[in-house]
Amino acid sequence: MAPMHFANDDTEDIPVLVVVAGPAGLAATIELARREIPTLLIERRRALSSHPRATVLSLRSMELMRMWGLEAEVRARSVDVEFRMLLTDTLAEAGGGSAIEVGYPSREQSRVLSPTTPACIGQDEVEPLLLAHLSGHPAARVEFGVELTGIAERPGGARATLRDVRTGAMRTVHARYVVAGDGARSAVRGALGIRLIGAEAVLVGATTLFRAPLWDLLREHRYLLYSAAASGTFLPAGPGDRWLWAAAQGESAAPPDERRAAALIRLGVGAPGLPLKIEGFRRFSSAAQLAVRFRCGPVFLAGDAAHRVTPRGGTGLNLALHDGYDLGWKLAWALHDWAGPELLDTYEAERRPVAEHGVARSADPAGSRRAPEQELHADLGGRIAHAWTGERSTLDLLGPRLTLFTAPDGTDRAAPPTRAPIHVRRLDPLAAAAVGAARHSAVLVRPDGKPVGALTADDDPPPALRVAVAAVAA
């Protein structure tokens, strides 16, 4: 593990402090650790949540899982479904139901767009995978049972006060940067005085986690979610017979007790004698809100701390993962001095429009019902095209540094000495054309796949490359 340093007052000095081991915090820590940035991730809870608050990873989220080497493990824990919603009176009548699009591409569409496909998997399965992945990174340290009780900007970073939940022991750390992924009721956001704008309590209800042999009833009618007119919404929450049942309620209504929940589930399934086991309840009150700013000096908000969305469209988990990924690689570049501070300004500039789209969608009563082409631009974020080059995708050729894609018949291009490292990839003609590096040309691409500069045969490579690098590295 990379050493941690202490100031004269025994304050621990660390490059990055990440608050809360949710999807945003875990993604940011993984990206920092991949680039060998010592990072402390704290989590108030003693263990991760066992309730599957979300059940879908988008196409872009699965591309991140593939990048981190977790695609196969995700698939092993996911459910094979069509990424649409089935409208039906009861699940027993699924054969007469109507399938509608919910913003995710089909398998066939995904094969054209990406080397992977979306996945139906519970959030309580995703987070442990990300946490276990971090155990292989010596730069990352994770501490459970530790909460942040205070934060203040200081020269060269932020000073945070941490408390051991079990013993009450207090300590302070000085972090060059802080990633606050501490949820919808973010203590960091509150301490910094950052307001939320938008509607509160847009969608209120409860989810019930249960086990029942529904696939035996549904047979070939396998979908991402089922809207049963008789009682609510059903979502597969893991392989086998693990399910979520969600129902909207009034603001003051309590979740149904086990007996009432079982009766409503059987009503929605259309099987009065259905054997089932209730495993838990979770009440939710979701908003459609956006923080007025995502940054306060060295502190960055991510995930639900920066934007609150309702369950409509299933965007919350995916927005958080993408926030953490984007912030993680950019902070690492700044700390490695591969880029100037201007790169960090692009975090909010690039993520806010996507968050605004997600918030607006989640506030729309019909927000779950979207064609894939309405949502893919927000999910994929302007990355280069996927094209196979041998057994690898052009997306697989991206790494933690800049990538220069060149056409096979172009002039030899050597990467010039720059602050940001560049890896040169020579593509076959079809793949080169797909990413914008047609005959005798090249394209420079960021780690997230966004192109930042194109070079033609007439360009003098070293000066032209320096100009392109400057566009991202400032």
What's the pLDDT at 299? Answer: 98
Whether the Cβ atoms of residue 400 and residue 442 lie closer than 8 Å to each other: no
What's the pLDDT at 416? Answer: 58
pTM, 2 dp = 0.95
What's the pLDDT at 184? Answer: 96
What's the pLDDT at 250? Answer: 63
Reading the chain (474 residues) residue by residue, the pLDDT tens digits are 334 444 445 789 999 999 999 999 999 999 999 999 999 999 999 999 999 999 999 999 999 999 999 999 999 999 999 999 999 999 999 999 999 999 999 999 999 999 999 999 999 999 999 999 999 899 999 999 999 999 999 999 999 999 999 999 999 999 999 999 999 999 999 999 999 999 999 999 999 999 999 999 999 999 999 999 999 999 999 888 999 999 987 654 666 789 999 999 999 999 999 999 999 999 999 999 999 999 999 999 999 999 999 999 999 999 999 999 999 999 999 999 998 889 999 999 999 999 999 999 999 999 999 999 999 999 999 999 999 999 999 999 999 989 999 988 754 555 556 777 889 999 999 999 999 998 778 999 999 999 998 887 666 666 767 777 777 765
What's the pLDDT at 335? Answer: 96
Q: Which domains does the chain have, with CATH numbers?
A: 5-51+123-198+288-380 (3.50.50.60), 78-121+199-285 (3.30.9.10), 388-473 (3.40.30.120)
Exposure string of 436-465, with b = 16+ CB inside 10 Å and e = fewer, is ebbeebbbbbbbbbebebbbeeebebeebb
Nearest to 433 by CA among 457, 465, 408: 408
Can you give the length of the chain in residues?
Answer: 474
In the numeric block, which tokens belong to residue 89?
A: 């009176």
Quote the CA–CA distance of 353 and 72 in Å, as a whole number.
31
HSE on the CB side for 15, CA within 13 Å?
A: 21
End-to-end CA distance of the chain: 30
